Structure 1
């Protein structure tokens, strides 16, 4: 027997998309709400498409998100290395 698909309220979808944008991690948000990660990523993609109907603007928005994620990862790496150096008694 195939389970029936569940319909989610637009407000709930918007909240999930907002959380994904804040955290940058669709899998984590999906896990918190007990949702399928691919469905959450689809909601984010649909929200981006609705915001940027022009394909070129959409690709720029996706690139912007990717670059922000890379910058956040780099900032975290720098903070971890600085913390390590402080613990070793070294100053940079």
Structure 2
């Protein structure tokens, strides 16, 4: 397997998520990297070994943005649920014998 080189910005993003979540293994799974790598990056970040990178320039989501995204996702989920209900009603009207298989 070929080694990958990750940018400092990517490493800092992963480290920030790991520190916020408190679960390095979950963040590692999300990015498909080894948990030991996330642990090492976190240690390097806390020791200040990432060099002269402007950490404030790296975009992060604040609470307001997360809240807006959450509301948008809830709306999409509601629309999908409504769409499924409509399709099931149509199926029930046209092919009532198939409805037994859906439940």
TM-score by length of 2: 0.46
Higher Rg: 2
**Would you identify which runs of 4 or more consecutive aligned residues in structure 1 move more than 3 Å?**
none
Distance (Å, rounded) in 2 between the aligned partners of 1:35 and 1:6:
10
- Which structure is richer in relative contact order (CA contacts within 8 A, separation 6 or more)? 2
> Partner of 2:38: helix, strand, or coil?
helix
Are 1:25 and 2:16 an aligned pair? Answer: no
Encode CA deviations 1:49-84: one digit per residue, 9 max, x unaligned.
117xxxxxxxxxxxxxxxxxxxxxxxxxxxxxxxxx
Q: TM-score, normalised by structure 1?
A: 0.51
SS of the residue 1:5 aligns to = coil
Counterparts in 2 of 1:40-59, with a 5 A limit?
40-50=38-48
Give the secondary structure class of the aligned counterpart of 2:48.
helix
Q: State the distance in 2 between where 1:50 and 1:10 align.
A: 12
CA distance in 2: counterparts of 1:29 and 1:39, whole angstroms: 11
Please, which runs of 5 or more residues in structure 2 have no aligned partner? 50-103
User: In the comparison of the two structures, how many residue pairs are matched?
Assistant: 49
